[in-house]
């Protein structure tokens, strides 16, 4: 029996951010709120005063925790956890891209569970308590973190490694997806984060963990994202396109929130960490080749994989995985993005590093076709 579970209350729509106080009243355990965001992001988006006004008119007091850098790192999260343990916050609100929302998610759960996040990532300590109530507000159309139960955490020290903290207790209580918040996002970042969402939806559909409900979300998400990426690149200010991409990203998050991602994401992490390639682009670079790899009939394939790959192709608008792979590559070229590893500074030596670190067990095992080191080497060499 396959089940689907997602407890997040989602508010979606143009200017839905104005309902943040109404949602906070339902969720917060007291009137003290901490907003977690990227440094200066609230001012860049022009929403800092709005958020304060929305919340303070209903008696909330608001503090802000600003994180530096593009990663949800162990150091930042531990510092944030120490802060929230010393304050009696009744609600945490994460506003930003994936790293800000994941940082907020970790701070919320660690606010009610003791110790460094390292204890839970590396030593297997159990998250025994529910965290501080959490609302997530994405400012990109890509990560889906607002509706998932895990957070990406980066060890940026000597180990240079990506981890994932995951527990059913980590779901946010609510999420606000307001397409107007991404209107100032540069078009390059818009399409890169959109490619992340596309990868998530495709991987959710071909994952061994798929279920009938995640399938519905994934197959709605794929054409919505794919058909709007070129439009947003050509006309970044178009509100309807922004709305479509935001909705496609939300659907993608709802799909993979119950399946997790697969080999594409697993391989993307060392590409991002060691070669400074934005996450969505790191996924997109291998997506077409994995689509071809997973579509091949093989003793390791789950029986339904070829048919599911055909469904993905039809969602993109063609009748075969080969044509779908070509469409993805062509789209990336039209978006002025690299399609080869050498274009982002990865050579044969880099491929070996990716192979060494690209086998995240809780991702690769969900791939519909068994992936070996030799398979991955062939895939990556094809992309040189």
Task: Determine how β-strand 161-166 pairs with β-strand 150-155.
Answer: antiparallel
Cα separation, 73 vs 67, whole angstroms: 10
DSSP type of residue 216: H
Phi first, then psi, for residue 164 (nearest 5°) are: -135, 125
Q: How far apart are CA 121 and CA 26, in angstroms?
A: 31
Task: Please report the pLDDT score of residue 48 as a whole number.
Answer: 82
DSSP class of residue 161 equals E
210-244 residue pLDDT tens: 999 999 999 999 999 999 999 999 999 999 999 99
Angle between helices 187-206 and 305-316 (to 10 degrees): 150
> Taking the model in full, what pTM does it have?
0.96
Alpha-carbon torsion 230, 234, 236, 237, what sign?
negative
Give the whole-angstrom CA distance, residue 201 versus residue 56.
38
Q: CB-hemisphere CA count at 13 Å for 239?
A: 5
Fold type of domain 186-382: Dehydroquinate synthase-like, alpha domain (1.20.1090)
Distances (CA, A) of 361 to 265, 304, 317: 11, 22, 32
Contact present, 294 and 369 (Cβ < 8 Å):
yes
Residue 127: CB atoms within 10 Å: 18
Can you give the residue ranges of every domain in the chain? 9-181, 186-382
Q: For Cα atoms 323, 234, 245, give the angle at the middle one, nearest 5 degrees.
A: 70
- Is 256 in contact with 201 (CB distance < 8 Å)? yes
The structure tokens listed for 86 are 């010393």
- Alpha carbon 25 to chain centroid, angstroms: 27
9-181 against 186-382: fold identical: no
User: Tell me, what DSSP letter sits at residue 132?
Assistant: S
Architecture per CATH, 9-181: 3-Layer(aba) Sandwich (3.40)
b/e sequence 58-78, b meaning 16+ C-beta within 10 Å: eebebeebebeebbbbbebbb
Give which of 230, 186, 204 is closest to 144, Cα–Cα: 204
Give 156's DSSP letter: -
Residue with tokens 């997040």: 8
- Burial label for 307, CB within 10 Å (0-12, 13-18, 19+), is exposed
Q: Radius of gyration of the chain from Cα atoms?
A: 20
DSSP letters spanning 21-64: HHHHHHH-SSSEEEEEEETTHHHHHT-HHHHHHHHHTTT-EEEE
Residue 213, both tokens: 């409900």
Q: Which segments in the chain show pLDDT lower than 50?
A: none
Q: From CA 249, how far away is CA 56, in angstroms rounded?
A: 30
């Amino acid at each position: 029996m396959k089940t689907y579970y997602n407890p997040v209350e989602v508010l979606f729509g143009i200017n839905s951010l104005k309902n943040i106080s109404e949602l906070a009243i339902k969720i917060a355990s007291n009137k003290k709120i901490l907003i977690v965001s990227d440094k200066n992001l609230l001012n860049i988006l022009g929403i800092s005063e709005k958020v304060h006004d929305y919340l303070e008119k209903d008696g909330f007091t608001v503090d802000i925790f600003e994180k530096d850098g593009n990663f949800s790192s162990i150091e930042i999260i531990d510092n944030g956890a120490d802060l929230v343990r010393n304050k009696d916050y009744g609600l945490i609100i994460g506003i930003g891209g994936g790293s800000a929302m994941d940082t907020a998610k970790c701070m919320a759960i660690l606010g009610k569970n003791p110790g460094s996040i390292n204890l839970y990532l590396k030593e297997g300590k159990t998250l025994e308590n529910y965290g501080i109530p959490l609302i997530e507000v994405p400012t990109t159309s890509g990560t889906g973190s607002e509706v998932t139960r895990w957070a990406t955490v980066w060890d940026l020290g000597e180990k240079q490694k990506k981890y994932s903290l995951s527990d059913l207790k980590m779901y946010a209580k609510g999420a606000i997806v307001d397409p107007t918040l991404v209107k100032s996002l540069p078009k390059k970042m818009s399409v890169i984060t959109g490619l992340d969402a596309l990868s998530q939806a495709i991987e959710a559909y071909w994952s061994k963990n798929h279920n009938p409900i995640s399938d519905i979300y994934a197959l709605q998400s794929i054409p919505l994202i794919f058909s709007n990426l070129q439009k947003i690149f050509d006309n970044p200010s178009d509100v309807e396109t922004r709305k479509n991409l935001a909705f496609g990203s939300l659907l993608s998050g709802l799909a993979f929130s119950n399946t997790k991602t697969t080999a594409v994401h697993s391989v993307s992490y060392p590409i991002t960490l060691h070669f400074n390639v934005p996450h969505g682009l790191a996924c997109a670079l291998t997506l077409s080749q994995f689509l071809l790899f997973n579509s091949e009939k093989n003793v390791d394939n789950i029986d339904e994989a070829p048919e599911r790959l055909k469904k993905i192709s039809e969602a993109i608008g063609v009748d075969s995985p080969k044509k779908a792979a070509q469409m993805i590559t062509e789209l990336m070229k039209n978006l002025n993005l690299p399609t080869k590893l050498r274009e982002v500074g990865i050579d044969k030596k880099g491929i070996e590093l990716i192979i060494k670190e690209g086998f995240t067990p809780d991702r690769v095992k969900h791939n519909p076709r068994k992936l070996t080191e030799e398979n991955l080497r062939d895939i990556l060499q094809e992309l040189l």
